[in-house]
């Protein structure tokens, strides 16, 4: 709520930009808090940096288990012990890398971690044993969070991206925790568009002067809570004109946004 209030304030949004989100986790009570409160899981899920406090008061094995759990909830986040949390480690969460003095798209999107996480959650749970089911019952809130990595090779019209985001926020905005993206626009493919949002609030889009890593295309990473499993992928495929057999294409959706199942 605090972050949304700042990003939605007309004066503050002109003076400040969102570089990143830092979440502090109590190493002693962290596991119990994550089990009891879905809001705690959401705060961990949207973070760029997770800082573990009171690690000196907790058992080392418990700290490592908590660290692994946080990486499962948010594979793209950097998890730090509070003793490692210098100003340099906490800041510069955004797209710009001060060390290379350039935009670091892969680091900012956390693409490899997000891809592995999304692929892992696409597996079915039918063959899991009773102990694993018990573990998931204890961590029931964790399973509600998913990271989606979407990639499209080639430019996309601005109108398609705009409508994709509008539909996503209007239909499931409360389930959209975090969104980052670098987009190749059909109208100007040489200058990537950068988008960044927290829930229904989108930070003003920015344009980079050129592609920093030579890899063009559209890349989006979204973190969601209780989002229907394939909804985002089907919607994105429709707007990039690669619809599933039972899903309308972009032209049909632009004519009738309610044409896609699940709305």
Within 122-183, residue ranges assigned H as helices are 130-138, 158-172
- Ordered by where they begin, the domains of the chain are 2-125 (3.40.50.300), 142-259 (3.30.1220.10)
Token output for 197? 């949002």
pTM of the model: 0.74
Question: Tens digit of pLDDT per residue, the chain (263 long)?
Answer: 677 777 778 888 788 877 788 999 999 999 999 999 999 999 999 999 999 999 999 999 999 999 999 999 998 899 999 988 888 788 777 776 555 556 777 777 875 445 544 433 333 333 334 444 444 445 677 889 998 999 999 999 999 999 999 888 888 888 999 999 999 999 999 999 999 888 777 877 889 888 887 789 999 999 999 988 788 988 898 888 876 656 666 665 655 554 554 44
Q: Is 96 helix (H, G, I), strand (E, B) or coil?
A: strand
Residue 122 half-sphere exposure toward CB, CA atoms < 13 A: 11
Q: Are 181 and 250 in contact (CB under 8 A)?
A: no
Q: Are 221 and 147 in contact (CB under 8 A)?
A: yes
């Amino acid at each position: 709520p605090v972050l949304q209030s700042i990003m939605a304030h007309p004066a503050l949004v002109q003076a400040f930009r969102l570089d990143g989100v830092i979440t502090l986790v109590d190493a002693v009570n962290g596991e119990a808090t994550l089990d009891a409160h879905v809001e705690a899981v959401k705060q961990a899920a949207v973070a760029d940096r997770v800082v573990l406090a009171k690690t000196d008061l907790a058992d080392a094995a418990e700290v490592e288990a908590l660290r692994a759990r946080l990486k499962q909830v948010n594979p793209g986040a950097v998890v730090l012990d509070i003793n490692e949390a210098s100003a340099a480690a906490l800041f510069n969460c955004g797209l710009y890398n001060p060390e290379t003095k350039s935009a670091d798209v892969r680091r900012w999107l956390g693409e490899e971690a997000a891809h592995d996480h999304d692929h892992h959650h696409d597996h079915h749970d039918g063959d899991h044993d009773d102990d694993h089911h018990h573990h998931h019952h204890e961590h029931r809130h964790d399973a509600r969070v998913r990271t989606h990595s979407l990639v499209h090779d080639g430019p996309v019209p601005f109108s398609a991206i705009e409508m994709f985001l509008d539909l996503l926020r209007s239909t499931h905005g409360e389930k959209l925790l975090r969104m980052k993206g670098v987009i190749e626009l059909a109208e100007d493919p040489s200058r990537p568009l950068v988008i960044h949002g927290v829930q229904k609030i989108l930070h003003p889009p920015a344009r980079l002067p050129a592609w920093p890593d030579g890899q063009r295309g559209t890349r989006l990473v979204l973190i969601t809570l209780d989002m229907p499993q394939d909804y985002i992928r089907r919607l994105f495929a429709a707007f990039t004109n690669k619809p599933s057999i039972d899903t309308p294409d972009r032209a049909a959706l632009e004519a009738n946004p309610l044409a896609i199942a699940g709305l």
